[in-house]
Each structure stands twice: as C-alpha cells, then as structure tokens.
Amino acid sequence: MLRKALDAATPSLREIAREAGVSYHAIRLYRAGIRTPAPKVLKALIAALRKHTGQVAKAIDELERAAAQPKGRKPQ
C-alpha cells in the first residue's frame, strides 16, 4: 500500500523524504519493503503524501471545470 502511494507521488521521493523528515535511503527501503517505518514516520509520510495528493486533486478539479465550460467562456 505504501509503495503504491509513494509511486504515485507527484513530487520526487527525495522531496517526500525531506518533508517527512527522513532520508531518501529510508524511503527507498520502505518502498522496497525491506524496512517498515515506525508509526511516527508513517504518519509524517502520510501527511507529506496527502499534501501533494490534495494539490493534484485540486488541479484535476479545476481542469474538469474548465473543460465543462462552453468554448469562449472563462471559468468562474
């Protein structure tokens, strides 16, 4: 599950690692299933991933609204 979320991350794994306060090497080990993050680290990873997931979802919503507007009209 964590691997899927990390693979889908919009920013680089290095950026996710930085935001979560862990090393890039640790992220790679978690992604490979070699290590399991401590609960505190997992919460930090979830927060970093959620931040970027929310940004992507917002951008998609804006694009969908723009696509639904008739041609020649600006979205409100």
Give the domain CATH number at 6.
Answer: 1.10.260
Q: Which is nearest to 13 in space by CA: 53, 65, 50, 48? A: 48
Please give the residue range of the domain that contains residue 42. Answer: 2-68
Within-domain flag for 55: yes
- Listed in sequence order, the DSSP H helices in 1-76 are 2-7, 13-20, 24-32, 39-68
Q: What is the pLDDT along the chain (76 residues), one digit of tens a residue?
A: 666 666 665 678 888 899 999 999 999 999 899 999 999 999 999 888 888 777 667 766 776 777 787 766 555 5
Task: Considering only CA atoms, give the Rg of the chain.
Answer: 16
Structure tokens at 33: 């299933």
Within-domain flag for 74: no
- Give the model's pLDDT for residue 2: 63
Within-domain flag for 57: yes
How many structural domains are present in the chain? Answer: 1
